[in-house]
């Protein structure tokens, strides 16, 4: 336990000193501010671009559009930025050799993996919370009338998918030596999830539904209860993968 808290402190310090925390927070803050703004400005930009010849009626932007932007940006760019930033989670310390000294002095390998995972989840939680808060604040400011259904639940699903993606990243980091290998396996896992999603029967059990069903949830076209199974599966898979990463890292030749 002391191992764990000490290494966690070191991880937090590392993210601050390497500016990874700053970049994560800034990227998500910028997304948070621009989501409602883009929703508001897009119809106006289109109107400016339209010439006399083609007339198209554009609906007024609503709070729903702002949240559409939020879920699009967070599930695409947000997750990509996160995975790229965290891709060196194990490989950077292993290639520099700074971890070896501590491990030979008795730091437990389980503590290393668990504290690294905790720290990644922590950074991801703070970032998504910041993005959500900013989008929420500005959406209320720009579109006071708008009410959006299932907002918190939908964001929770997105957060859970991020947590799942991080554990896949951690597992691939223990399997490979370089951060490119880690990126490759994580990307491959995401692609496999998307391919499996083509089968309609698998949709309910596929973790990626957590990141693709958000828009359906906030427009009320997907029932909340249809995702319970996915949430359970994602939690179980996350636990299993954490367990596997610990096992693999304990056996790994450094």
Tell me how far, at minimum, the Cβ of 22 lies from another protein, in Å. 7
CA nearest neighbour of 169 among 79, 73, 77: 79
Tell me how far, at minimum, the Cβ of 64 lies from another protein, in Å. 19
Closer to another protein by Cβ: residue 14 or 247 = 14
Closer to another protein by Cβ: residue 183 or 227 = 183
Could you give the CA distance from residue 78 to residue 157 in angstroms, rounded to a whole number? Answer: 15
Tell me how far, at minimum, the Cβ of 72 lies from another protein, in Å. 18
Closer to another protein by Cβ: residue 85 or 119 = 85
Closer to another protein by Cβ: residue 29 or 235 = 29
CA distance to 61, 68, 213, per residue, from 220 (Å): 18, 13, 10
Backbone angles phi, psi at 197, to 5 degrees: -65, -15
Closer to another protein by Cβ: residue 44 or 58 = 44
Token pair for 151? 């907002």
Tell me how far, at minimum, the Cβ of 30 lies from another protein, in Å. 6
CB atoms within 10 A of CB 39: 24
* Contact (Cβ atoms closer than 8 angstroms) between residue 241 and residue 175: no
* Contact (Cβ atoms closer than 8 angstroms) between residue 227 and residue 157: yes
Reduced to 3 states, what is the DSSP secondary structure of residue 247? helix
CA nearest neighbour of 33 among 128, 133, 152: 133
Tell me how far, at minimum, the Cβ of 29 lies from another protein, in Å. 6
Give the interface with another protein as residue ranges (CB under 8 A). 18-20, 22-23, 26-27, 29-30, 33-34, 37, 81, 84-85, 96, 138, 141
Torsional class of 39: left (φ above 0), alpha (ψ -120 to 50), beta (otherwise): alpha
Token pair for 117? 């995972």
Residue with tokens 């209860």: 225
Closer to another protein by Cβ: residue 26 or 240 = 26
* Contact (Cβ atoms closer than 8 angstroms) between residue 202 and residue 187: no
E strand or H helix that includes residue 167: helix 151-175
Tell me how far, at minimum, the Cβ of 144 lies from another protein, in Å. 14
Tell me how far, at minimum, the Cβ of 202 lies from another protein, in Å. 35
Closer to another protein by Cβ: residue 81 or 231 = 81
């Amino acid at each position: 336990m002391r191992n764990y808290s000490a290494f966690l402190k070191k991880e937090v310090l590392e993210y601050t000193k390497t500016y990874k925390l700053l970049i994560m927070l800034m990227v998500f803050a910028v997304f948070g501010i621009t989501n409602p703004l883009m929703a508001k400005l897009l119809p106006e930009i289109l109107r400016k671009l339209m010439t006399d010849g083609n007339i198209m009626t554009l609906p007024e932007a609503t709070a729903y559009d702002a949240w559409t932007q939020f879920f699009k940006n967070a599930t695409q760019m947000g997750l990509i930025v996160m995975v790229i930033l965290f891709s060196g989670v194990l490989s950077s310390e292993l290639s520099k050799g700074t971890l070896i000294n501590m491990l030979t002095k008795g730091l437990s390998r389980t503590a290393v993996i668990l504290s690294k995972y905790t720290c990644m989840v922590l950074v991801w939680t703070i970032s998504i919370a910041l993005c959500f808060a900013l989008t929420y604040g500005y959406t209320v400011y720009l579109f006071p009338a708008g009410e959006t259904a299932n907002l918190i639940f939908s964001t929770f699903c997105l957060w859970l998918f991020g947590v799942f993606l991080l554990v896949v990243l951690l597992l691939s980091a223990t399997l490979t030596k370089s951060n490119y290998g880690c990126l490759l396996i994580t990307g491959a896992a995401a692609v496999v999830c998307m391919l499996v999603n083509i089968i309609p029967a698998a949709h309910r059990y596929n973790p990626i539904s957590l990141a693709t069903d958000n828009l359906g949830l906030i427009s009320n076209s997907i029932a909340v209860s249809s995702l319970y199974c996915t949430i359970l599966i994602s939690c179980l898979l996350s636990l299993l993968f954490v367990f596997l990463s610990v096992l693999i890292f304990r056996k790994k030749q450094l």
